[in-house]
Amino acid sequence: MAITTGNQAPPAGRRRATSTGRAGDKIFLGLSRGSGILLLVIMASIAVFLSYRAAIAISQDEGNFLTTFDWNPAGDPPVFGIAVLLFGTVVSSVIAMAIAVPVAVGIALFISHYAPRKLAAPLAYVVDLLAAVPSIVYGLWGSLFLVPYLEGLNLWLDQYMGWTYVFDKTEVGVARSLFTVGILLAIMILPIITSVSREVFLQVPRMNEEAALALGATRWEVIRMAVLPFGRSGVISASMLGLGRALGETMAVATVLSPSFVISGHLLDPGGGTFAQNIAAKFDEANEFGRDALIASGLVLFILTLLVNGAARLIIARRKEYSGANA
């Protein structure tokens, strides 16, 4: 005779009950389902609005929307393209992620597994507080403090890393470049990734860590074999949250960057542009057609963000399937 327990999973193929029949459960179920449907409706309406206005602009564009380096929708004929904006958005976000993710994971591990409680609690509070700082504050700090002090770093990179071409400084000027924007964005997204990663690392089963320690593992081996594998999906989710902010950041980038519609492989040269920065800088002075052109660039940013988040969800789902198959 089979022995069953209260925690036994329901048989495969049987649907879980969504409501007990009580009025409170029915109301909560209806509100939850309505909220999900409302979210889908809002996303669909945004996509339809952006697509409609973008189609109007692209249909009258005399150039190639994807490859043109110029932005002059008020010209005769109107010409505008997103090549420079796409390049600047992707490059600055990649720089930010390359800097922020390793540092954020290290800080999260220090707070959750290395720091004493008297230090971990206030440090975690400071990290959470930094995540709430408005972007314009970061932008002002970056413009008045980060830009002047990064000029020395740029000269050092030009002297010792200029052979890589990427860090070859060919233009004389202050450090208002995509490299500076990437560093500023890394500082901005660092608290978000750190906070989420810290909470994930704190959820690691204590028995797993104690078992590794009982087998003679060092603290780093415990983290490498028990903590990081458990928190991998959470770190990916946290990184995607940070990447979403980096892709759509507006005021901080507009305050620091010297906008120009020139693509340069030298990251230390002033100039460049991003989608959000260009929209914020040109929206007020644009005519009706110019605003449609800006909305078209916003549609590209919208699609880019959806693709990034979709890829992250796919990676997390595959990690879960792989973990479940090896369990």
Structure tokens at 63: 């150039």
Q: What single DSSP character describes residue 117?
A: H
| Low-confidence winner among 12-16, 91-95, 153-157, 302-306 (lowest mean pLDDT) | 12-16
- Could you give the angle at which helices 288-325 and 228-248 cross, rounded to 10 degrees? 180
Cα separation, 233 vs 313, in Å, equals 9
Q: For 29-81, how does the pLDDT look when each residue is reduced to its tens digit (9 = 90+)? A: 899 999 999 999 999 999 999 999 999 888 876 667 888 888 888 777 778 88
Place of tokens 């973008």: 54
**Higher per-residue confidence, 211 vs 38:** 38
Instruction: Please list the alpha-helical segments (H only) found in 12-71.
Output: 23-59
Q: State the pLDDT confidence band at 283, using cuts at 50, 70 and 90.
A: confident
- Could you give the angle at which helices 228-248 and 178-202 cross, rounded to 10 degrees? 140
Q: State the pLDDT confidence band at 12, using cuts at 50, 70 and 90.
A: very low
Count Cβ atoms below 10 Å from residue 255 Cβ, excluding itself.
21
Q: For 149-192, how does the pLDDT look when each residue is reduced to its tens digit (9 = 90+)? A: 888 888 888 888 878 888 877 776 677 888 999 999 999 999 99
What is the model's pLDDT at position 315? 76
| Low-confidence winner among 102-116, 251-265, 285-299 (lowest mean pLDDT) | 251-265
What is the model's pLDDT at position 230? 87
What is the model's pLDDT at position 320? 63
Which residues does 53 contact at the CB level (< 8 Å), separation at least 6?
291, 292, 295, 296
DSSP labels, 67-111: T---EETTSSS-EE-SHHHHHHHHHHHHHHHHHHHHHHHHHHHII
What is the model's pLDDT at position 326? 55
What is the model's pLDDT at position 157? 85
Average pLDDT over residues 120-144: 90
What is the model's pLDDT at position 221? 87
| Low-confidence winner among 77-81, 144-148, 224-228, 300-304 (lowest mean pLDDT) | 77-81
202 has pLDDT over 50:
yes
What one-letter code names the amino acid at 102?
Answer: P
Q: For 137-153, how does the pLDDT look when each residue is reduced to its tens digit (9 = 90+)? A: 999 999 888 888 888 88
6 has pLDDT over 50:
no
Cα separation, 49 vs 256, in Å, equals 31
15 has pLDDT over 60:
no
Q: What is the mean pLDDT of the chain?
A: 84
What is the model's pLDDT at position 261? 80
Cα separation, 93 vs 42, in Å, equals 26
Q: What is the model's pTM? A: 0.84
Average pLDDT over residues 84-91: 91
The percentage of the chain sitting over the pLDDT mark of 90, rounded to a whole number, equals 27
